[in-house]
Amino acid sequence: MNTTARFRHSLTVSVAALATLVAASAANAQSMPEKIEQIGLMVQDMSNPFFSAMDKGAREAAEAIGATLNTQDAQLDLANQNTQIDAFIQQGVDLIVISAVDEGGIGPAIARAKAAGVIVIAVDTPAVGADAVIMTDAVQAGEKSCQYLFEQMGGKGEVLLVDGTPIQTIIDRIAGCKTVAANFPDIKIVGQQASKNDRASGLLVTTDMLTANPDVTGIFGMNDPSALGAVLAVEQAGKSGSIKVTGVDGSPEAVAELTREGSPFIASATQNPAEMVRQAVKIAGDMVAGNPPAETTILIPSVLVSRDTVKDYAGW
């Protein structure tokens, strides 16, 4: 091939490559669904009432726009969420709302969904590649729960932290608690163990920590199920009168516990799982209409509910 022929061949290849790129870009630009008709909701663990409330909110939001809803439970398993996203792609859903088990690990599956033209909104915790994330101000929730706990302890004493799975929202709640603890020089955090975010494991880890730290007078559970497991551990240890417990969620179970006479449980910093999903569906509708969100991280404020204020709390 002579120089002129090689130039023409290279030019032809370059033009073809450019045409392919333009076509791909056009396809991606047109891949946004015209209407939200099918919604796939992915929750971490349906045995947690938080996610049941999320499902309820999703059903209300779907009904309001005439969409169908398919809810899938990951049972805290990343592999399950990968499979569920691929199934949603095959089903042709327009919107996936996901509470990710692993915010980084789910990234490739979210990329596949977006390549297929699916809008992906994360709720409760971030997820790599999602179009937006709507979640509680988790740092604020941890701060409010622990501020109240430390104040009710008289600003002094030993504290246990019932941690959870290492997702960002839980990490942030613990960080918020520790930030507040720094303002209480006579508060000492003497134990921190991770539960599996449920009551049974909250009971186990708290029982273990109480055995090693018998002088504890305060416990922060990073969600209500783990906090209520801690309450059971406190009662089994015969320490109901000396240990105070707070949590995060504002769940129906927490409300019931706040009204139970003699319970060590004194407060919970609220979340609003149904509202997270309602906002996710609204944002997706705005995106379809050509109005993407100005901010891709939307934080819902947390409010403290105590024994004194629970009667005025609307709940989930």
Cα-Cα-Cα-Cα dihedral of 305, 190, 158, 198, to 10°?
A: 30
Q: How far apart are CA 61 and CA 282, in angstroms?
A: 8
Q: Given this structure, which CATH class describes domain 138-272+306-312?
A: alpha beta
Question: Is it true that 38-134+273-299 and 138-272+306-312 share their CATH fold?
Answer: yes
Domain boundaries, the chain: 38-134+273-299, 138-272+306-312
20-64 pLDDT, tens digit per residue, is 333 333 334 437 888 999 999 999 999 988 999 999 999 999 999
Has domain 38-134+273-299 been given CATH number 3.30.420.40? Answer: no
279-288 pLDDT, tens digit per residue, is 999 999 999 9
Residue 271 phi, psi (nearest 5):
-125, 170
pLDDT at 190 over 90: yes
Burial of 237 by CB count in 10 Å (0-12 exposed, 13-18 middle, 19+ buried)?
middle
pLDDT at 178 over 60: yes
Q: Find out whether 156 and 198 touch, Cβ atoms under 8 Å.
A: no
CB atoms within 10 A of CB 313: 17
Which pLDDT value is given to residue 32?
Answer: 82
pLDDT at 15 over 80: no
pLDDT at 185 over 90: yes
Q: How far apart are CA 173 and CA 168, in angstroms?
A: 9
150-174 pLDDT, tens digit per residue, is 999 999 999 999 999 998 999 999 9
Residue 269, helix vs strand vs coil: strand
Q: Find out whether 129 and 118 touch, Cβ atoms under 8 Å.
A: no
Residue showing tokens 């520790």: 178
Q: What percent of the chain is modeled with pLDDT above 70?
A: 91
Burial of 113 by CB count in 10 Å (0-12 exposed, 13-18 middle, 19+ buried)?
buried
72: β partners: 42
Q: How far apart are CA 48 and CA 199, in angstroms?
A: 9
192-228 pLDDT, tens digit per residue, is 999 999 999 999 999 999 999 999 999 999 999 999 9
159: β partners: 189, 218
In eight-state DSSP terms, residue 312 is G
Q: Find out whether 278 and 60 touch, Cβ atoms under 8 Å.
A: yes
Q: 187 or 34, which is more confident?
A: 187
Q: How far is CA 309 from CA 135, 147, 166, 226, 230, in A?
A: 23, 16, 31, 22, 22
Q: Find out whether 271 and 68 touch, Cβ atoms under 8 Å.
A: no
Which pLDDT value is given to residue 45?
Answer: 94
Give Rg (Cα) of the chain: 24
pLDDT at 18 over 80: no
Sorting pLDDT into bands at 50, 70 and 90, what band is 78? very high
pLDDT at 17 over 90: no
Sorting pLDDT into bands at 50, 70 and 90, what band is 16? very low
Burial of 90 by CB count in 10 Å (0-12 exposed, 13-18 middle, 19+ buried)?
exposed
Nearest CA to 89 out of 55, 119, 68, 67 is that of: 119
pLDDT at 14 over 50: no
> How high does pLDDT run on average in the chain?
91
Q: What percent of the chain is modeled with pLDDT above 90?
A: 88
Q: How far apart are CA 302 and CA 136, in angstroms?
A: 7
Which pLDDT value is given to residue 1?
Answer: 52
117-143 pLDDT, tens digit per residue, is 999 999 999 999 999 999 999 999 999
